[in-house]
Amino acid sequence: MSARRKQWILRHPAPPEFQLESAYGPVLTHLLYQRNLRDSEALEHFFHASYPLGLHDPFLLKGMTEATERIAYAMTHGEPMAIYGDFDTDGVTAVTLLIQALTTMGANIQPYIPHRHREGYGLNTAAIDHLIANGVRLLITVDCGITNRAEVAYANERQLDVIVTDHHRPPPELPAALAVINPKQPGCPYPYKQLVGVGIAFKLVQALHRKGFQPPRARELLDVVALGTVADMGPLDGENRVLVKAGLEALKQTERPGLLALMKAASLKPEAVNSTAIGFMLGPRLNAIGRLDDAAYAYDLLLATSLEVANELAMQLNRANQERQRLTTEMQATALAQAEAEGKHEDRIVILANNNYPSGIVGLVASKLVEQWGRPVVLIAQEDEISRGSARSIEGFNIHQALEGCHDLFTRFGGHSMAAGFTLPTDHVPAFSTRLLGIAQQQLTDAMLQPSLLIDLEVDWQHITWSLLEDMRQLEPFGQGNHQPLLMSCGVTASQIKRLAKRTASQNVFAQTGWCIASSCGLWSGPPGTSITPSSSHRCCLCPGRSYMGQ
């Protein structure tokens, strides 16, 4: 949605007393205040907490003691174990991390990543039977399992021990697993609640190290921690910030063939990797293969030992991502036409069901339509008997909580306040639509449906300098929970507007402002009209380390 159609809201500036006490520049002081970094302890942790000193004790996680004792027993007795993950980037990186780490520690272990279309999200009894038939005695879930009470009970009946590690919102009654590790579960004293699946997997490795097992070097694991955390939109504050900062440094120096191949496929140099590159270049390629085919290919890429094999897999992921982009564009057009035809585009919550929606991309398209319409969107890929849906929301409307009001209609559901997914019998779709529309009618106010643009600070044009940009870089990495600053200058008139000149493979000519090709941040640090050749070392001012050679 264009910024012109949004209500511009200027955030509250820092009060005078906070400004007087601040040791930072005026703009940075305001930005820190708006991020609730308002005391010396919070500021010290934000700017100076580093790996590993900035991490919490893994044994503060409820269930960690029981989990590590059982895993240690399995490793010392050679018991076969399995890691069961999700098919998105967070799940795949978490499986990768634990297979890599526990194999190094001497475990007898195998991966299991369910197929999105054949099996769906979370544990399933057929997979449990398959693993038992393969001799597995201990099953560890990552990024899933917290809602699988029936499946865990089934595993218990079959004498298969289950350890659940998950970060999604727990249901009122937890599965009866041998151990449940989730910082959001009741009674968990862990001080940071926003770890994603791969972050919790990393804490498990930390705890096993404390028990005397020797994992790989941290930098050999932190690269996938950064990938999964950013791709899953984990907030980049607290412990996540520490892990991602260290993980970005690991990514820039990675020797992992799969990541080197993936960067090559994305035309991205290792030294240019930042959170934006993960979110828009690497993460989508890892996610796409699981949306359209089998996420096991992404796992195979991350643990490939040969650059030749890795390059082949990376190109396969690249092709899947291109196909995902094509299908997303087509499905968005279909959904827009359907909404107009059915008169639903102005409903308080837009609910669309269609037999032609590809189930793997309904969440992506829902996100785009939320941006376009400024209201929650639910898209349902209908099949003859079972339908799968994804919901995306707006600030102030907890979509997970709204779906709880329809829980009796679902086969399963889960998610967060802003995004959720569900499976339900197709004949329940009409009742679901009616009930959710009723909930939205009661809870969604007109004010919530007014799209807004939150502006951090009004700044005089003359104060927007390279020095200011250097100050703002101290806030990186940017992402969920630590947004890129948005500043506003009033009374500015554009004296001339130039478009990018025609560029070839060997040259890019930038106009007055210039554009960042890779992330479209809108600024470039070279002088006006400068020609850039592949040998240049110019950098975008908001994307540090990224050069421009036709990416």
- Sorted by where each begins, the domain ranges of the chain are 53-217, 343-452
**Mean pLDDT in residue range 313-333:** 95
Strand (E) or helix (H) holding 138: strand 138-142
d(CA 164, CA 179): 6
Of 51-60, 184-193, 210-219, 518-527, which gets the smallest average pLDDT? Answer: 518-527
Is the pLDDT reported for residue 30 higher than 90? yes
List CB contacts of 176: < 8 A, sequence separation 6 or more: 149, 152, 153, 156
What is the identity of the amino acid at 424? Answer: L
Q: Please calculate the CA angle 19-21-27 and round it to the nearest 5 degrees.
A: 35
Residues β-bridged to residue 428 = none
| pLDDT of the residue at 530 | 39
Structure tokens at 60: 């503060």
Q: Which of 215, 247, 244, 239 has its CA nearest to residue 61?
A: 239
Architecture of domain 343-452: Roll (3.10)
At the top level of CATH, which class does the domain 53-217 belong to?
alpha beta
**Mean pLDDT in residue range 348-369:** 94
What is the identity of the amino acid at 222? Answer: L
Of 375-384, 430-439, 467-476, which gets the smallest average pLDDT? Answer: 467-476
Q: Which of 293, 338, 340 has its CA nearest to residue 318?
A: 293
**Mean pLDDT in residue range 420-429:** 94
| pLDDT of the residue at 1 | 63
How do beta strands 419-425 and 457-458 pair?
unpaired
* Choice between 543 and 497, residue whose per-residue pLDDT is larger: 497
Of the pLDDT bands very low, low, confident and very high (cuts 50, 70, 90), residue 328 is very high
Of 163-172, 264-273, 408-417, which gets the smallest average pLDDT? Answer: 408-417
| pLDDT of the residue at 544 | 41
Place of tokens 């089998």: 294
Q: What are phi and psi of 10, to 5 degrees?
A: -90, 120
Structure tokens at 537: 């070392």
Q: What are phi and psi of 140, to 5 degrees?
A: -120, 120
What is the pTM (predicted TM-score) of this model? 0.85
Is the pLDDT reported for residue 469 higher than 60? yes
The DSSP symbol for 453 reads E
| pLDDT of the residue at 500 | 63
Taking residue 447's Cβ as centre, other Cβ atoms within 10 Å add up to: 9
Is the pLDDT reported for residue 507 higher than 70? no
Is the pLDDT reported for residue 38 higher than 60? yes
In the chain, how long is the greatest CA-to-CA distance?
75
Q: Taking all residues of the chain, what is their mean pLDDT, rounded to a whole number? A: 88
Q: Left (φ > 0), alpha (ψ -120 to 50) or beta: where does 403 sit?
A: alpha
**Mean pLDDT in residue range 499-503:** 56
Is the pLDDT reported for residue 234 higher than 50? yes
d(CA 534, CA 507): 7
Residue % of the chain over a pLDDT of 70 = 90
Structure tokens at 379: 């898209």
Of 10-14, 323-327, 488-492, which gets the smallest average pLDDT? Answer: 488-492
Of the pLDDT bands very low, low, confident and very high (cuts 50, 70, 90), residue 113 is very high
Structure tokens at 83: 């890691």
| pLDDT of the residue at 2 | 66
**Mean pLDDT in residue range 189-217:** 97
| pLDDT of the residue at 497 | 80
Is 81 in contact with 139 (CB distance < 8 Å)? yes
**What are the b/e assignments for 314-346, b being 16+ CB within 10 Å?**
bebbbbbbebbeebbeebbeebbebbeeeebbe
Give tens-digit pLDDT for 121-176.
889 999 999 999 999 999 999 999 999 999 999 999 999 999 999 999 899 999 99
Give tens-digit pLDDT for 67-107.
999 999 999 999 999 999 998 999 999 999 999 999 999 99
| pLDDT of the residue at 116 | 84
